[in-house]
Structure 1
Amino acid sequence: MVTIFREVVYAQPLGFRPLALDLYVPAEPVALCLYLHGGGWRIGSRADGLEVGPNVPRSPWQQPSFFERIAQLGLAVASVEYRLSGEARFPAQLEDVESAAHYLAEHRGDFGISTDARVCWGGSAGGHLAALHALTTSLPVSAAVCWYPVTDLVALLADIDDAGGQADRSRESREARLLGATADERPETARAASPVHAVRPGAPPFLLLHGDKDTAVPLRQSHRLAEALRAVGGHAVVEEVPGATHIFPELDDAALQGLLERSARFLLAAATGEKGAAARGHGAPG
């Protein structure tokens, strides 16, 4: 059984709307997972899970939802909304994620969550924020799973070019809207917003899933973060999804469910102290 708490307000930044999260709690959660939605930092909501299906997005309220299915595996899932780039520039989004994490650390008992183990998960822009949160938060994080994440804003456009995509170098691009200018115009802000430049010794283990045909956020982005983590002695596994583009629209339900379950079990293993087993259980580093 999964208990759902909807529209839990966790913060109200001065001058902005209240920010809320939805919380999905199994009977005996092993860990609390902070989940961050994608959408290029411009669109999306806490109702959006990693449910694509065969070429057509699913309804976020399909039963059981992505969040309920993950909760049934043992993770309490907090799907967090954050300020979009049309509302605020970076680092507002990261500050919102940190606020949500602290709110949950203080109030988890109110929602029947007794464990203090924390993990994080996100896709695309949400994968970027999950990675950055795992590397910079003041709270302990046991592991992070990132699906097709942006990890290096400085190198992103060159990676898109190399992958055969169409890089947007304008001030209207998703990255420029996040930063308030292009990465070339604000290189220090772009570095500060890039997980590869936040890597540190003692970072939690990462599982990065990425399609090998992704030209929107190329596979090289996941490898950049994995290489940086390994350079400081960290655990990082890149799982390449053959033939998949951004958000995995090519996958059928069975393949998608397999990736969801492997991702959840990676987080569960790390949260219970099986970091090595978590990494080994998902293949050799790619």
Structure 2
Amino acid sequence: MRVIEDIIYVERPSASLALDLYLPDGTAHSTVLHAHGGGFFKGHRAGPRVPLLAQRLTDLGLAFASVSYRLGTPASTFNDTDLRSIRQNCRRARDQGVLIAKRMLGPAFEAARQDIGTAIAFLTSTHATHDIETSKLVLLGISAGGIAGLSLAYPPENLPCFAKPDAVITLGAAMVHPWCLSERGPQVLMLHSVNDKIIPPSTADLALTAATTSAAPFKVFKCNRKGHNAPVVALLKDTDERGTSYWDHMVATLQSAKVLSPTRGDV
């Protein structure tokens, strides 16, 4: 595995935003973009499990990009129209049962969504530069990173539109705009804990119900490990009640979305 660190993907007035790109020893087929958690107010692209995730995914012939995004972005960053839409979406989400902290539905969330969407556009437009065969990209989002990823895959109509991933894998996240789901959207696999006090498991049930109603291509699993960060460990180590590993479920999603070659799911 090779690593290219500190690739600037966008210059914001407040900061230069960068990503680290992990590459297999040979040509990569496509890209996994990792978006860290932290409630949109903390976190870092170089988290403790990033090297392990990068190694396992590059072993599958994929590139792995771990991205930074703005944290704690204030309301003053946005114009009045967008700020009104952010607040409207927050109220609608809570009215529909998305019971997470309001700060995870506000301006900091929208800034992260826009930054990660910009990172997707950057990676898909520059893939050949780094010996990546295709522009296909899956977003692997942990907690807040998954919230942003789902809202890029199924964006609200009243906010700016950004690049969409070809599939989304979330670990301990929430679909905060369930009214945006449709059968034409990207494939999604959500892995949640049965006991999560930060993003309760009821949010996973809400996402599955909305996806079923709209025929959106969603799969939702709950692992038996307890805690908000449990799904990350479960993805790497655990199986479902039928004995299929959550890693294999993810690989199947990548293959179905043509992000991963059907012959490269055996690692």
Normalised to the residue count of structure 1, the TM-score between the two structures is 0.68
How many aligned residue pairs are there?
A: 220
Unaligned runs of 5+ in 2: 78-106, 156-160, 263-267
Amino acid at match of 1:118: L
SS in 2 for 1:242: strand
Match of 1:16 among 5, 14, 38: 14
- For residues 104 and 246 of structure 1, the distance between their equivalents in structure 2, rounded to whole angstroms, comes to 29
Deviations 1:8-61 (A, max 9, x none): 000011x21100001112223232112100011111111126x3xxxxxxxx5x
Match of 1:164 in 2: none
- For residues 250 and 16 of structure 1, the distance between their equivalents in structure 2, rounded to whole angstroms, comes to 31
- For residues 273 and 68 of structure 1, the distance between their equivalents in structure 2, rounded to whole angstroms, comes to 17
Match of 1:240 among 194, 209, 222: 222
SS in 2 for 1:65: helix
User: What displacement does 1:246 show?
Assistant: 0.9
Q: CA RMSD in A?
A: 2.9
User: What displacement does 1:255 show?
Assistant: 2.1
Once the two structures are superposed, the pairs formed by residues 191-210 of structure 1 within 5 Å of their partners are 194-210=176-192
1:118–1:271 contact (8 Å) kept in structure 2: no
User: What displacement does 1:271 show?
Assistant: 3.0
Match of 1:77 in 2: 64
- For residues 252 and 137 of structure 2, the distance between their equivalents in structure 1, rounded to whole angstroms, comes to 13
Of all paired residues, the percent bearing the same amino acid is: 25
Distance 1:243 1:134, change over 3 A: same
Once the two structures are superposed, the pairs formed by residues 162-201 of structure 1 within 5 Å of their partners are 194-201=176-183
Amino acid at match of 1:24: Y
User: What displacement does 1:242 show?
Assistant: 1.3
- For residues 235 and 169 of structure 2, the distance between their equivalents in structure 1, rounded to whole angstroms, comes to 20
- For residues 198 and 126 of structure 1, the distance between their equivalents in structure 2, rounded to whole angstroms, comes to 18
Match of 1:269 among 224, 237, 255: 255
Match of 1:228 in 2: 210
Amino acid at match of 1:66: L
Match of 1:28 in 2: 27
2:168–2:187 contact (8 Å) kept in structure 1: yes
SS in 1 for 2:64: strand
Distance 1:24 1:251, change over 3 A: closer
Unaligned runs of 5+ in 1: 52-59, 152-193, 278-286
Deviations 1:67-88 (A, max 9, x none): 1222212321111110011566
Normalised to the residue count of structure 2, the TM-score between the two structures is 0.72
2:191–2:222 contact (8 Å) kept in structure 1: yes
Moved more, 28-37 or 38-47: 28-37
Match of 1:217 among 177, 194, 199: 199
Distance 1:121 1:233, change over 3 A: same
Deviations 1:183-231 (A, max 9, x none): xxxxxxxxxxx23233233011211111101122111112212221221
User: What displacement does 1:263 show?
Assistant: 5.3
- For residues 113 and 33 of structure 1, the distance between their equivalents in structure 2, rounded to whole angstroms, comes to 11
Amino acid at match of 1:127: G
Match of 1:160 in 2: none
User: What displacement does 1:140 show?
Assistant: 5.0
Match of 2:128 among 106, 109, 127: 109
Moved more, 205-214 or 254-263: 254-263
